[in-house]
Structure 1
Amino acid sequence: MSGPVVVGVDGSPSALAAVDAAAREALLRGAELHVVHAFLWPALHVPPGASALGPPGGGVRESVEHLLREAVDRARSAAPGVRATSAVMPGEAVAALEAESRTAQLMVVGRSGSGGVREVLLGSAAVHLAAHGHCPVMVVRGRTDPEGPVLVAVDGSPRERGAIAFAFAEASIRGGELVALHTWSAWGDHGAHRPGRPGELVDTIGDADRQRAAEERLLAEALAGHRERYPEVAVRPRVVRGRTRPTLIEASGHAQLIVVGARGRGGFAGLLLGSVSQAVLHHADCPVAVVRSGLWDDGADL
């Protein structure tokens, strides 16, 4: 997939952490890093220069230029050799970043912007882009320098095919392991009930063993074509009996990146992001990449 890696900055610590991650992502891909700042003041007709009553260099334009220079310098320090450009985008931040995502191969944002209230609250730009962006969106959160495998959530939904393909490509360029995690429940999820008795708890050893075997086949089938395309990627399938959200969040503590689809098997038509995606975006201990269905070509290279 061509295009730059784009990162949005607003001067917040979260955005600066996103610059570090975006610079490394761009260098891994051999792509250009494009640092953007959404600038609403021109639309409000605020004078760009310094006030006659204030110090020289204290105007809006100077502040924005300083913010962008700082971000570009930080990017080059985090990933020496990265090609970095910057631009001011007129308009509101969410709309400007969504427009930039149309030509990007990856959009990177911090977990919250300058208006964030608490660490657990996710910024509106991150949520909106994860749901509406035109390329995969990486939200930088959790550990500052995460290590470990790439982790991908697999539930068997056709909509997650792009997320799996993206996770394989990420593991390939990072030279790391890919952990494919699939969870199943004893309560009728994914057909986990006894035939003829819907919803009944899988309560015998034989039932549980048969269901686990079925879930293992589902995971193997979801990974099959991708494993042939990326033979260099070491894949560790994990089938876990338990609740999806806490299992993924716990596993994120040992990963360098977690990849999820925007919506999975249980999504409602009116929801922009599924409950699993929302939970991981808010609570994961490493960066999260959200890949909407249809955005990632299974045959594309990074």
Structure 2
Amino acid sequence: MSDVDPDPTPSPPTPSSESPAPRLVFGDDGSAAADVVWLWINNHHWPGWRISVVTAALPGIGAPVGSERSTLHPWDPAHPRRLFTDDAEVEHLYAETDPRLAIDSCSDAALVAVGPRGHGVWKKLHMGSTTDWLVGSHRPLAPVVIVRSARATQKVLLCTDGSDHAAAGLQALFDLPWVDGCRVGVLGVDDVNNRTQDAVVDAVEQLRAHGVSHVTHDVVSAVPHTATFDVRSTILASIAEQSPDLVVVGARGTGGLRGLLVGSVAAAVVNHTACSVLVAKSS
């Protein structure tokens, strides 16, 4: 791994006051995992953002609840979530519906934050968790961060392969208002297209232009695996070695990834790492 010293560059322009506030949607089911997500949110600054605390539960057996109760609406919970600072607006929303549909209805979300597991009804029915749904096939509809640790993010690992989905991962990282103070490593895995090096260099240059103070990069060779390359095991090994606070991946990839199931790399990172993971919006 090598260090890249950034050249002094001006900060990106401040968005116009007429621009809508970026929206962070927090899927809150009241579980211990949700408590960790909320503490993670609190341990980062979100100046100018709007934070929607979304809680949903299936209605009881009986007559239909009607659209007013089945769609997200403001509510006052007995124990509201509160921020340590006042740099973001917080609202609480509730609906009597499938939690997955409630979060999906937040179509303007700039980021969705959830825990890796909860005690929701879908887990009890063995039908797949809300988290599984959010990062499943043809998803995410918005960038999703699966939070496993409440600590503030200091070290980020960005995985890139030169695909449009990897570019979306870089953009999702840029959209985080606190990323400039992080150390960001760019990881590329050599594959049959031999374009990984260019993709890594391009990502490093964009990070420098964005104002990230410390950037490193690393290109590693994938483990040969019959007609394809097993990039999953290579990426997981690199993550374990580097121990980042946050890993950023695209929803799916190209090159050596084409021989694998669509989305399998993102799924492997989400399911088999101990750190938090940001999965970019599917393009």
Q: Is the TM value for this pair above 0.5?
A: yes
Counting only pairs closer than 5 Å after superposition, residues 4-153 of structure 1 correspond to structure 2 as: 4-25=23-44, 27-41=45-59, 44-45=62-63, 68-72=77-81, 75-76=82-83, 79-81=84-86, 82-100=88-106, 102-115=107-120, 124-131=129-136, 132-141=139-148, 143-145=149-151, 147-153=153-159
Structure 1 residues 234, 125: closer, same or farther in 2, change over 3 A?
same
Q: Give the conservation status (yes or no) of the 8 Å contact 2:56–2:99.
A: yes
> 2:197 maps to what in 1?
216
Structure 1 residues 91, 80: closer, same or farther in 2, change over 3 A?
same
Q: Give the conservation status (yes or no) of the 8 Å contact 1:8–1:36.
A: yes
> How far 1:285 moved relative to its partner?
1.8
Q: Secondary structure at the match of 2:233?
A: helix
Q: Percent identity?
A: 25
Letter in 2 for 1:96: A
> Aligned partners of 2:214, 2:128: CA distance in 1, in Å?
34
> Aligned partners of 1:88, 1:174: CA distance in 2, in Å?
34
> How far 1:287 moved relative to its partner?
1.1
Q: Give the conservation status (yes or no) of the 8 Å contact 1:107–1:136.
A: yes
TM-score by length of 1: 0.67
The reply on whether 1:259 has 2:261 as its aligned counterpart is no
Letter in 1 for 2:89: R
Structure 1 residues 222, 80: closer, same or farther in 2, change over 3 A?
closer
Where structure 1 has 5 or more consecutive residues not aligned to the other structure, the ranges are: 48-64, 193-213, 295-302
Q: Secondary structure at the match of 2:162?
A: coil
> Aligned partners of 2:103, 2:166: CA distance in 1, in Å?
24
Structure 1 residues 112, 85: closer, same or farther in 2, change over 3 A?
same
> Aligned partners of 2:127, 2:187: CA distance in 1, in Å?
24
The reply on whether 1:249 has 2:214 as its aligned counterpart is no
Structure 1 residues 171, 35: closer, same or farther in 2, change over 3 A?
closer
Q: Secondary structure at the match of 1:190?
A: coil
Structure 1 residues 123, 140: closer, same or farther in 2, change over 3 A?
farther
> Aligned partners of 1:40, 1:83: CA distance in 2, in Å?
27
> Aligned partners of 1:36, 1:269: CA distance in 2, in Å?
38
> 1:190 maps to what in 2?
192
> How far 1:30 moved relative to its partner?
3.0
Structure 1 residues 71, 138: closer, same or farther in 2, change over 3 A?
farther
TM-score by length of 2: 0.71
Where structure 2 has 5 or more consecutive residues not aligned to the other structure, the ranges are: 1-19, 66-74, 224-230
Structure 1 residues 122, 247: closer, same or farther in 2, change over 3 A?
farther
> Aligned partners of 1:250, 1:156: CA distance in 2, in Å?
20
Higher share in strand: 2
> Aligned partners of 1:70, 1:270: CA distance in 2, in Å?
45
> 1:275 maps to what in 2?
264
Letter in 2 for 1:28: W
Q: What is the aligned-residue RMSD (CA, Å)? A: 3.4
> 1:52 maps to what in 2?
none
Structure 1 residues 241, 105: closer, same or farther in 2, change over 3 A?
same
> How far 1:128 moved relative to its partner?
1.6
> How far 1:175 moved relative to its partner?
0.7
Corresponding residue pairs, total: 240
Letter in 2 for 1:107: V
Letter in 2 for 1:20: L
